[in-house]
Structure 1
């Protein structure tokens, strides 16, 4: 007699108290299974990441080649992101997510075998990196949207915030487990555990059932297949660039990523340089940043309908705190500033992710995420060199202050432009009515036009 998991069909729930609690997405059984599987997956991922760069550096003997391997893995996101998103819109989401997770697990197992038998070389390393990056162009949007399908729309911010908390917890556990596993079983064990974690997610996916109130992509198979084409990918790009709130979200996120957020570099140099601290002192700063990020994710879980305006306001607040952090006279003032900075940026990130994943119509969301992945890869590759140049020119304090002010200035300028455009749309044309008929027409009700501001 065989046993299996029961279908995870969510039960309808009536409105009740506590619907704004950060953990409300866990009321749904499918989300509980999904979160547990993702915790396991994140533990495995961070076990692998903990040893990966050192292993690659050991094999190649070159920091430049190590960097090249990272670029090879990122390149598919830049070049194939649009097609990956189109595939998510065209193919059944659960099947897509399950297959992509299984393939990533296979890649991890192959890497583990090559490491165990000392067969991993530069060529195989580059091939595996390229395959991983290619599969990720489909896996990332498929898994993100699958998680959103498990809860009603009002609970999507809670689901995204929960995912952030799960990711942070998985990172802490994975880094700790990596040291134990590598010390006892060798480097290959980290890759093997990661492979098992991918299979864990793939095994849970077939039992998940979308929430009845979730907005999911529909349409006949032929229409879905049409989305996976060059024309379908271009449709996604066209929708994206014509959607002002998505363009505004892209600008906010891009400028924040390029001129801020790289605290592993800027704050590390600030603490160990001008503040004359030690590596242990930077570890304390990093811990405060991590705790603030988790607290921000929990706080963000209370949101129901975040807006681009909220994303911009919180990003600007975090940027101004970053500028103040650059002026810190000592470690204690720095810690006082980075805690709320991390909270503001975490809430902003969760709000932005919610807007990105829920604003497009269901049949377009995969392609929108594909466009986003392409743009995100571009600024992810361009950001570190630009920040490095800024630090060489202005030093760590100047980089933090200048970067924070640039972010805030861009957001404020965008808000002013948007406010001016909105005001101009609301000013009625002044035409003097002539005669009773004109007066009657002027008094007639005007059809409603949606003039609501972005967000």
Structure 2
């Protein structure tokens, strides 16, 4: 049996994986179970840290602007160097890259914990640590995402992504709850220490993970590659390792450009429900913080249900992502007319479900569509692009609410999303249909010529005719 890159046999795929549509089918892979446990602990640690981090910045600086600046400094590397980070993921061994990046993030958390405990953390050091964290994350994000996908077969990637979404949600709940208890009894530095330990746990698990190697036709065994073929393939891939190659591939790939357009317009004019629904509930619907808490809970429940449904997908398409995004946008527009909190809650649940399924489908397309040696750089391009709309979306949406109010922002935003996606489908249909018809006509003419030529040259038939 061919060995894996680590020298051990590749992990066998479960026999039932071919037919199963269970959302939990990715957990039949032992390595995926360990990876999910590690990510749960890591997410819990991260949310413990995030819960206390803004309060810590406020304590150090007394400035809300400084808090926003620290978030921007941490996000800036994703905008500037994600392409380089993705190229590093493609060039270096994935397991090693993920393990080292997790260890580095753990080191940053431990350093922060020590500085907090010694009361030596000032604004300058805080910004430097935030920038380092953001820089490491440009490599860690795509490395860990692709490593998780390597642990299952391609048709089970939606399940892996859906399970990852559930793990993220569970980790967020656990980390947020533990943060208050930890800070109250042990102190702020303990939250950073716990996060550092969670990173080290992930780094310790990674060497024992066994990726699944795919074969054409869906068989569960590893693909046999003769040395000459392997050398030629590796040489070709090494010559294709430039940073800009990922950007060029992304730009030449219509389905990835369409996916970016769908996700971008949805992110700018929708999805920021923590902003739009908060203003709607506390304003026109005359609710309080408790009412918005109820809406947030329903959104979380819908997200979990959507992750489970999304995990049942096997081969999602960009068209499916677009249809789901448009459907969610229309629900958002209807929600803008909600006369009461009860009606809003009825609409919020399917909104969250559709959004979550769409996210799972879109992430699956993004992470499986490019060839394996380009996936890190494609995720790097996505990191840069998504940072642009992530930073620009809330201010634009806030401006829209200033002009049209909360109801108007939901209605107009929903119609813009649905209209843009519908126009994209219509434009693609207009471009495709004539070329298809022309191709059919050409194919028919060519077939007629070939048939006539064949009849005329077959012995005995031309004379009879």
Same fold (TM over 0.5): yes
Please state how far the C-alpha of 1:15 moved relative to its aligned partner. Answer: 3.7
Q: Is the 8 A contact 2:303 2:355 kept in 1?
A: yes
Question: Do residues 329 (structure 1) and 330 (structure 2) align?
Answer: no
Q: 1:119-198 maps to which residues of 2 (within 5 A)?
A: 119-198=120-199
The 3 A distance-change label for structure 1 pair 305 and 16 is closer
Q: Which residue of 1 aligns with 2:201?
A: 200
Q: SS where residue 158 of structure 1 aligns?
A: helix
| Separation in 1, partners of 2:447, 2:425 | 38
The 3 A distance-change label for structure 1 pair 54 and 214 is farther
Name structure 2 gaps, 5 residues minimum.
1-7, 217-221, 223-229, 455-465
Please state how far the C-alpha of 1:12 moved relative to its aligned partner. Answer: 3.7
Q: Is the 8 A contact 1:87 1:227 kept in 2?
A: no
Q: Which residue of 1 aligns with 2:71?
A: 70
Q: Which residue of 1 aligns with 2:352?
A: 342
Q: SS where residue 80 of structure 1 aligns?
A: helix
| Separation in 1, partners of 2:413, 2:43 | 31
| Separation in 2, partners of 1:341, 1:315 | 10
The 3 A distance-change label for structure 1 pair 439 and 98 is closer
Q: What is the RMSD of the two structures over their aligned residues, measured on CA atoms? A: 2.4
Question: Do residues 267 (structure 1) and 267 (structure 2) align?
Answer: no
Q: Which residue of 1 aligns with 2:32?
A: 31
Q: SS where residue 211 of structure 1 aligns?
A: coil
| Separation in 2, partners of 1:208, 1:214 | 19
Q: Is the 8 A contact 1:90 1:227 kept in 2?
A: no
Please state how far the C-alpha of 1:166 moved relative to its aligned partner. Answer: 0.2
Q: Which residue of 2 aligns with 1:44?
A: 45
Question: Do residues 441 (structure 1) and 460 (structure 2) align?
Answer: no
Q: SS where residue 427 of structure 1 aligns?
A: helix
Aligned residues: 434
Please state how far the C-alpha of 1:381 moved relative to its aligned partner. Answer: 1.0
Q: Which residue of 2 aligns with 1:3?
A: none
| Separation in 2, partners of 1:186, 1:340 | 40
| Separation in 2, partners of 1:78, 1:105 | 23
Question: Do residues 233 (structure 1) and 243 (structure 2) align?
Answer: yes
Which whole-Å deviations, capped at 9, do the CAs of 1:348-405 have from their partners, x for residues lacking one? Answer: 0000000000000000100100000000011111111101110110111111111111
| Separation in 2, partners of 1:8, 1:106 | 32
| Separation in 2, partners of 1:60, 1:214 | 56
- Pick from 293, 298, 320 the counterpart of residue 330 of structure 2: 320
The 3 A distance-change label for structure 1 pair 103 and 222 is farther
Please state how far the C-alpha of 1:11 moved relative to its aligned partner. Answer: 2.7
Please state how far the C-alpha of 1:152 moved relative to its aligned partner. Answer: 0.6
The 3 A distance-change label for structure 1 pair 438 and 179 is closer
| Separation in 2, partners of 1:444, 1:127 | 75
Please state how far the C-alpha of 1:65 moved relative to its aligned partner. Answer: 1.6
Please state how far the C-alpha of 1:212 moved relative to its aligned partner. Answer: 2.9
| Separation in 2, partners of 1:354, 1:123 | 39
| Separation in 2, partners of 1:213, 1:164 | 24
Q: Is the 8 A contact 1:9 1:29 kept in 2?
A: no
| Separation in 1, partners of 2:206, 2:163 | 18
- Structure possessing the higher radius of gyration over alpha carbons: 2
Question: Do residues 372 (structure 1) and 382 (structure 2) align?
Answer: yes
Please state how far the C-alpha of 1:14 moved relative to its aligned partner. Answer: 2.4
Q: SS where residue 440 of structure 1 aligns?
A: helix
Q: SS where residue 410 of structure 1 aligns?
A: helix
Please state how far the C-alpha of 1:18 moved relative to its aligned partner. Answer: 6.2
| Separation in 2, partners of 1:93, 1:104 | 16
Q: Which residue of 1 aligns with 2:219?
A: none
